[in-house]
Structure 1
């Protein structure tokens, strides 16, 4: 049994105001468009105490489930959530993520800080950092300019 702890910070600058970037996280249809994989499931109750559950597509051989609880939301400024990632009902990670939205010139600087506990080699910190960066890039492509 092994436990790894890791923290990473990712930054992106998007050419739209913070309100638009924040809305892409808060609106269930908008978030499903950039956060989920094709064929995967997604539900979002975006409020303090609300949950977000994302599942991998059926038939991929693994039943991946990301289950998050929103701990703090400051509209257009900050989102904090705790989450777990499981594969085939085996817990792989537990994490706390903070997302900051800051106006910068005529756009938004998004800073994401994740603190994770990675269990028994089911996921590596570098995999999570890469995947998180990929969906931040997908968010950038989904934002209407």
Structure 2
């Protein structure tokens, strides 16, 4: 489905049955666990899930700003469809109309959302606002919440759609020359010392924020578990010293020793690809390490967003 100029279209696939996804969406107690960008909290004042009913709630930003909202429901088909107006307040009309379709994909659920605005200009402005506020992270938080409910695992998710064919995105993740140009943290450069990107292979790299004597240098290793071109890539990552001996995060000693990275590439159109990244501690993990991982999700979002911005810039070249 291609969105009209005045629409914002979003698709996510969640590894949970449709009934659980629907309930987590429509139950205000569950919604409070994931609704909104990272760092936001939610207070529901009232909810009447019926045609003509309203959900009155306030989102609280991390800076203390409150965002009141009155959503009015127009269509409700159990486990299948929700249509409602979003963004109204007691003194202002709705900002847009939302249509959400829930579809079974085996044991998974596809959520397809369309936000219809008054004009293409309004849609473009809303896209900018959502990006600046980190609003797309709402749906990553939703994935994390569902994962904890279904699998009792703590994971980190982030999604981004890129204007490039799926094969190109896969190559940007698996060809060292491309990977080194966009994947290091903002302000860092990356150099591969050796690479063997195949199942059972590994790569060893160094990242640095300059050539000065006091520059930060970080070494790391990736070991490849799955390469299924062009749809899926799975590998582990560890921090190392310059001799490739495993160490700990140089600035976070309680960070898990080994992380598992799973990348799913999904062709949305011939020239549009959605990348879904899932990150989780791997192997033996202490309670302290897991707590460090959970508390760092906001920072992970910022870090991966910076890398994805660099990837987007590389693709434009």
TM-score normalised to structure 2 length: 0.39
Cα separation, partners in 2 of 1:64 and 1:6, compared to 1, 3 Å: farther
How many angstroms apart in 1 are the aligned matches of 2:262 and 2:198? 15
More strand by share: 1
Please identify runs of 4+ aligned residues in structure 1 that moved more than 6 A. Answer: none
Q: Deviations over 1:86-140 (max 9, x none)?
A: 579741332101000000023101000000257496x944433422232122112
How many angstroms apart in 1 are the aligned matches of 2:315 and 2:198? 22
Higher RCO (Cα < 8 Å, 6 or more apart): 1
Specify which of 57, 67, 81 is matched with residue 235 of structure 2.
Answer: 81
Cα separation, partners in 2 of 1:132 and 1:87, compared to 1, 3 Å: farther
- The answer for the alignment partner of 2:191 in structure 1 is 41
Does 1:100 find its partner at 2:248?
no
Conserved 8 A contact 1:6-1:125:
no
How many angstroms apart in 2 are the aligned matches of 1:62 and 1:114? 24
Conserved 8 A contact 1:63-1:87:
no
TM-score normalised to structure 1 length: 0.79
3-state SS of the aligned residue for 2:199?
coil
Larger Rg: 2
Shift of 1:61: 4.8
Gaps of 5+ in 1: none
- The answer for the alignment partner of 2:204 in structure 1 is 53
3-state SS of the aligned residue for 1:80?
strand
Conserved 8 A contact 2:238-2:247:
no
Gaps of 5+ in 2: 1-152, 250-255
How many angstroms apart in 2 are the aligned matches of 1:22 and 1:53? 20
Q: Matches of residues 64-143 of structure 1 in structure 2 within 5 Å? A: 64-86=218-240, 90-92=247-249, 93=256, 94-106=258-270, 107-116=272-281, 119=289, 124-143=296-315
How many angstroms apart in 2 are the aligned matches of 1:44 and 1:126? 30
Superposition CA RMSD, Å: 3.0
Stretch moving more, 105-114 or 57-66: 57-66
How many angstroms apart in 2 are the aligned matches of 1:95 and 1:82? 5
3-state SS of the aligned residue for 1:46?
coil
